[in-house]
């Protein structure tokens, strides 16, 4: 019976119901979109880190990353070891990327600069590392003599796609060695120190240059990020090897930036929640106070304070549910229409190029939105109704 009266009152007082619904729905849609915007930025930072450089993590021999070694190649991994074969067949792992990092000189025939090089398996890496932001040419793939290098390094050496260059480095025996390569692509990651020094060549060329058959590290591409703890536990359980997650490998760019943004977004989110809650609370309370005459009639007809309170709370519950549902719908509608092309963002912490962020609405956040909408409506009703119900019936009838 109380539901019937509640729906009847809502339909009879459409202007007031619309005011509450508009306040709740707009507030909830704003919260949904802001939360999705934050999630989009965080996920993009994560994907850029994983898909541009580090994969989901890497494997080294135990203790390799903990100190500086006089002869680091003695701690490198033999790719023919049984451990690597088992690693390839782990169900969580989709790709393994053997790599070698080294410092070298790059000579274009007129000028020589130092750079930080990396030998990679271009064919397999081109399938996984898709966010390096190649601005000229293409990513290193099947080109045996190819090199891809950062924008700053390419500009300093006045190189373009197709130009030839010589890479010089010391072998592990101490002699100077060189390989000739040609530029297949130029990337612009947006991190100046990275773009000004970094380059990649094929792993076989790097091994030829350094005179080795080993690899320094093995980066991993998993089927899903959530599988990393299982892989890390298994690798760390091996007597000679250890695993390191991507956020540890890139603490300066990724982890520090994400920690900074999370703290900033959390503070702003609290402010937005307070504004939304106070807006809903104020609208609901004002409407209850405007209904003093109606409440006085109910009291005069014999309804108790508890019955009147129950009726008002039921109306608020219904309006809160409907308003929250409409707000979620508005958020998804906006995300599929006006926000479908993303939001152009200025350079963020740690990077120097603009990027486009997409709002990623989170299903897990919907229950929180409903809770905020319903509780704000109910609390506003309770506080305002208690104040009204304390008034004498005669005074209520005057309202």
Domain presence at residue 281: yes
- Say yes or no: 105 and 218 in one domain: yes
Q: Is 23 helix (H, G, I), strand (E, B) or coil?
A: helix
Domain presence at residue 271: yes
Domain presence at residue 169: yes
pLDDT at 348: 64
Percent of the chain with pLDDT over 70: 96
- Say yes or no: 98 and 200 in one domain: yes
| Calpha distance 319→28 (Å, rounded) | 13
- 185: pLDDT strictly greater than 80: yes
Per-residue pLDDT tens digits for 37-57: 988 888 888 888 898 889 999
- Say yes or no: 230 and 283 in one domain: no
Domain presence at residue 249: no
Domain presence at residue 244: no
In contact, 184 and 202? CB cutoff 8 Å: no
- Say yes or no: 298 and 198 in one domain: no
- Say yes or no: 77 and 215 in one domain: yes
Range of the domain at 26: 2-49+255-398
Per-residue pLDDT tens digits for 60-112: 999 998 888 888 888 999 998 999 999 999 999 999 999 999 999 999 988 99
Cα dihedral value 248, 252, 258, 262, nearest 10:
110
Average pLDDT value for the chain: 87
Rounded alpha-carbon distances, angstroms, from residue 301 to 8, 307, 329, 387: 18, 12, 40, 20
pLDDT at 47: 86
Single residue among 239, 263, 287 that ends a domain in this structure? 239
| Calpha distance 292→275 (Å, rounded) | 27
Would the CA dihedral through 343, 349, 354, 356 be positive or negative?
A: negative
- Say yes or no: 188 and 132 in one domain: yes
Would residue 42 be called left, alpha or beta, if left means φ above 0 and alpha means ψ between -120 and 50 degrees? alpha
Quote the number of domains for the chain.
2
- Say yes or no: 217 and 287 in one domain: no
Per-residue pLDDT tens digits for 2-23: 777 677 767 777 788 888 888 8
Single residue among 207, 239, 271 that ends a domain in this structure? 239
pLDDT at 5: 67
Domain presence at residue 227: yes
Domain presence at residue 45: yes
Single residue among 239, 267, 289 that ends a domain in this structure? 239
- Say yes or no: 102 and 172 in one domain: yes
pLDDT average, residue stretch 309-325: 87
In contact, 120 and 99? CB cutoff 8 Å: yes
- Say yes or no: 89 and 215 in one domain: yes
């Amino acid at each position: 019976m109380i539901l019937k009266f509640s729906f009847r009152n809502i339909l009879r007082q459409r202007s007031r119901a619309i005011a509450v619904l508009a306040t709740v729905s707009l507030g909830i849609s704003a919260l949904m979109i802001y939360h999705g915007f934050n999630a989009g930025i965080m996920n993009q930072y994560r994907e850029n880190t994983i898909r541009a450089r580090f994969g989901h993590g890497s494997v080294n021999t135990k203790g390799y990353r903990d100190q500086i070694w006089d002869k680091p190649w003695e701690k490198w991994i033999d790719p023919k070891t049984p451990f690597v074969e088992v690693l390839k067949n782990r169900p969580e792992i989709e790709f393994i990327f053997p790599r070698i990092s080294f410092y070298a000189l790059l000579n274009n025939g007129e000028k020589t600069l130092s750079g930080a090089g990396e030998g990679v398996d271009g064919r397999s890496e081109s399938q996984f590392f898709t966010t390096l932001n190649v601005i000229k040419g293409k990513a290193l793939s099947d080109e045996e003599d190819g090199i891809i290098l950062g924008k700053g390094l390419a500009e300093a050496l006045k190189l373009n796609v197709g130009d030839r260059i010589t890479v010089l480095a010391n072998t592990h025996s101490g002699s100077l060695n060189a390989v000739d390569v040609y530029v297949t692509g130029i990337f612009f990651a947006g991190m100046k120190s990275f773009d000004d020094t970094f380059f990649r060549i094929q792993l076989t060329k790097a091994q030829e240059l350094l005179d080795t058959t080993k690899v320094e590290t093995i980066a991993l591409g998993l089927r899903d990020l959530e599988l990393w703890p299982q892989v890390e536990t298994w690798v760390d359980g091996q007597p000679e090897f250890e695993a390191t997650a991507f956020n540890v490998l890139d603490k300066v760019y990724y982890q520090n930036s994400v920690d900074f943004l999370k703290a900033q977004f959390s503070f702003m989110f609290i402010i937005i929640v307070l504004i939304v809650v106070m807006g809903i609370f104020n609208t609901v309370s004002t409407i209850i106070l405007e209904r003093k005459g109606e409440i006085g009639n109910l009291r005069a007809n014999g309804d108790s304070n508890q019955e009147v309170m129950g009726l008002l709370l039921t109306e608020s519950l219904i309006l809160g549910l409907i308003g929250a549902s409409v707000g979620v719908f508005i958020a998804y509608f906006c995300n599929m229409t006006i926000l479908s092309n993303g939001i152009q963002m200025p350079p963020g912490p740690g990077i120097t190029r603009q990027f486009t962020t997409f709002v990623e609405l989170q299903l897990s956040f919907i229950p929180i939105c409903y809770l905020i909408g319903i509780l704000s409506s109910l609390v506003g009703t309770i506080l305002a109704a208690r104040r009204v119900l304390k008034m004498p019936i005669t005074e209520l009838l005057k309202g």
